[in-house]
Amino acid sequence: MNAPTFVKAPRGGAESLFGQVTSRLAVAIVSGALPAGALVPNEDDLRAEISASRTAYREAIRFLAGKGLIEARPRSGTRVAPRSSWHLLDPDVLRWSLSSGADEGFIRDLFELRALVEPGCSKIAALRRTSQHLDRMKAALRGMETTPPFTDEAMRFDLAFHDAIFDAAGNAAIAALKEVVATTLWWSLRIQRGTRSDESFRIPLADHQRLYEAIARKDGDRAEMLSRILVDDALADTLSAFRQGAVADL
């Protein structure tokens, strides 16, 4: 599995303009610069910073409205929607929120979701995995072992390992949350760069190896326990990096 596919501002042409307008408004909203109930800047307001055309602006407004970030109110204009209306697990909203509006509460929320989903998924995977799934996990582990820690390449191997577990579970409903987990994991690993030593990576690497072995033995209870340990330790490492002021641009 490659890194999560994020929607970034496209480069070149009219599409680039749409991406710039969308990103500018989204970041202002999730960061709190535009609080709930505030009027959304129009294309004339944005022209002080970017060349916002009427077409690009309208497309961006429709796009963000579809993700719950803004709402049109009769006789009161287009305004920022309350956070309770945002589609927080939408990959774009999640990316914007982690990059520009993350706080400890939101980080804990995401890891609580991981703690609810991944251990149970690992338990099911241990019971349903095939030799092909095990081959994918083993190849991902090999990549994690031979690649310098916290590089993009190493992180892709880490995601590939978790992706194989999701697939091994064979549950379409659980798989629907795979992108949320991948996005959170990718951001978590990126934010730890520069705050942790390469030596510290040996501990989670060993836990990944033990998780693989439990799944290979079809020991669902142990796989569930080890997955929970991985998530709990990842939360502690992520919060430590976050408190040190580390940031990660997704």
| pLDDT tens-place values along the chain, 250 residues long | 446 643 333 333 444 788 889 999 999 999 999 999 999 998 888 877 777 788 888 999 999 999 999 998 888 889 999 999 999 999 999 999 998 879 999 999 999 999 999 999 999 999 999 999 999 999 999 999 999 998 999 999 999 999 999 999 999 999 999 999 999 999 999 999 888 888 899 999 999 999 999 999 999 999 999 999 999 999 999 999 999 988 877 7
| 14 φ/ψ angles, rounded to the nearest 5 degrees | -65, -30
* Runs of H (alpha helix) within 11-130: 13-30, 43-46, 54-66, 91-100, 104-128
Domain parsing of the chain, residue ranges: 13-85, 102-243
Q: What is the pLDDT of residue 14?
A: 42
Is the CB of residue 38 less than 8 Å from the CB of residue 80?
A: yes
pLDDT value of position 229: 97
Report the distance separating Cα 130 and Cα 167, nearest Å.
Answer: 10
The values of phi and psi at residue 25, to 5°, are -70, -45
Alpha carbon 123 to its chain centroid, in Å, reads 23
């080890």: which residue's tokens? 226
The Cα 61–Cα 41 span in angstroms is: 10
* pLDDT for the residue numbered 105: 95
pLDDT at 4: 61
Cα 49 to Cα 43: distance, rounded to the nearest angstrom: 10
Q: DSSP letters along 113-143, please?
A: HHHHHHHHHHHHHHHH--HHHHHHHHHHHHH
pTM assigned to the model:
0.86
Q: Which CATH architecture has domain 13-85?
A: Orthogonal Bundle (1.10)
- CA distances to 92, 130, 158, 199, 249 from 6, rounded to whole Å, are 7, 30, 18, 30, 11
Is the distance from CB of 86 to CB of 93 less than 8 angstroms? yes
Q: Tokens at residue 89, please?
A: 């697990």
pLDDT of residue 3: 62
Residue type, 62: R
pLDDT of residue 51: 74
CATH of domain 102-243: 1.20.120.530
Cα separations in angstroms, 192 against 189, 236, 246: 5, 11, 7
d(CA 166, CA 172) in angstroms, rounded, equals: 9
Cβ(128)–Cβ(245) below 8 Å: no
Among 200, 111, 201, 196, residue whose Cα is nearest residue 154: 201
What torsion do the CA atoms of 48, 49, 54, 60 make, to the nearest 10 degrees? -140
